[in-house]
Amino acid sequence: MELRMTYFRYGVQSCAVGHAMNHIDYITRRGFHAQRADLIYTEHGNMPAWAPTPGDFWRAADKHERINGVALRQITVSLPNMMSTSEIVSLAREITWMLAGGKPFQMAVHMPNAALGDEPNPHVHIAISDRVPDGIERSPEQFFARYNAMAPERGGRRKDSGGLTQTELRSHVLWERNAVAAITNTALEALGYAERVDPRSLREQGVSRAPERHLGQAMIRAMTPEQKKEIRGRRLTY
């Protein structure tokens, strides 16, 4: 079987305090965002006892995390569009639980049609709190308080991103990206698909072309059918 490379995207961004609940509403298509009919699955896990619903947790993060701090870290991962819906969800869950570990998380799988064509564009949004579990019961206020290394029971949960240098953070993100690609390729192979993903940069792959600029929805809507067809054709040769 001849292997074929397929599109892979792994993106990380931080969500500031005060915006976590809005972001969760967006990825889970609640409220105003319910008009987007592309949500196929959502799940949450590792929530503390005081948060019977994930909304209770993210609202508390917005309220009690330090001002100008980070309420959650979002990871967006593309999923192979040749997979069935059940296979996509299974892969998204495996990736999510690996990345979250024991930390509180909420995830949502979207499957809209790609803006440049009719093929589906499945991907998963994973919202993770960087507060790591330590077995200590805390109130919501204390949960998000500053960590006390000398007396952990007196402070909040430790953030595993705290105190890391930019180099260390970058190394961790690269490790996660490679781990996600490995999980994806293992699933593709086990299911008998010829497609594989490559987490390396274009330079690392020996590809000389420049990275494609992100095309926003407004730009795509302004394109002619011929321009869209040209871009789709280029992508088939990547």
* C-alpha span between 110 and 120 (Å, rounded): 10
| Residue 188 contacts residue 198 (beta carbons within 8 Å) | no
SS3 call for 194: coil
- Given a contact cutoff of 8 angstroms between Cβ atoms, the answer to whether 35 and 227 are in contact is no
Among residues 26, 41, 147, 238, the one annotated as catalytic is 26
Q: Is-contact 134 152, C-beta < 8 A? A: yes
Tokens read off for 191: 């299911």
What is the helix (H) or strand (E) element at residue 100, kind and residue range? Answer: helix 85-100
Can you give the length of the chain in residues? Answer: 238
User: 26 an active-site residue?
Assistant: yes
Characterise 29 by phi-psi region: left (phi > 0), alpha (psi -120 to 50), beta (else). left
Query: Active-site positions?
Result: 26
